[in-house]
Structure 1
């Protein structure tokens, strides 16, 4: 299952990269272990795995996100997020 989630996260990241120049949210995991975010975008829900120390770009046109802590956020698609101790710090 973990391999599937990693592949899904990579596919999402590549899709965002192909949009080119569009604003998108990014998340940086500053924790020592991988963290999982639940992302709902255009009615599609995925689990986005962010490995320790990694930065992932996602959500180019707004989305709903459940953070590892369980907090829910609505993103416009231009936020920078740090995950620290399982919690999200949105900049």
Structure 2
């Protein structure tokens, strides 16, 4: 399961580019975003200190705190103390 999830995360990260949202985990523990894009729901695990590109064409995201956001695909997000700061 972990290998499949890691492969999915890497695929999402590779698809992303200049027009993708990015999330940086500034916490000491891994954080999970639930991303719904084109009707497909995936868990995006962000390791401590890591930055992941995702959501190149817009999506809905459930943040680690449970807050839900709609992203256009160009946002930059920092996870701090389990909460999301969208720039």
Q: Identify the TM-score tier after normalising by the shorter chain.
A: over 0.9
Structure 1 vs Structure 2 CA RMSD: 1.1
- CA displacement, residues 39-82 of structure 1 (integer Å, 9 cap, x when unaligned): 00011110000000000011011000000000000000110000
CA distance in 1 between counterparts of 2:29 and 2:6 reads 14
- Normalised to the residue count of structure 2, the TM-score between the two structures is 0.93
Segments of 5+ residues of structure 2 without an aligned counterpart are: none
CA distance in 2 between counterparts of 1:16 and 1:42 reads 15
Aligned counterpart, 2:54: 58
Aligned with residue 84 of structure 1, among 73, 80, 87: 80
CA contact (8 A) 2:31 2:45 kept: yes
Segments of 5+ residues of structure 1 without an aligned counterpart are: none
Aligned with residue 42 of structure 1, among 38, 43, 52: 38
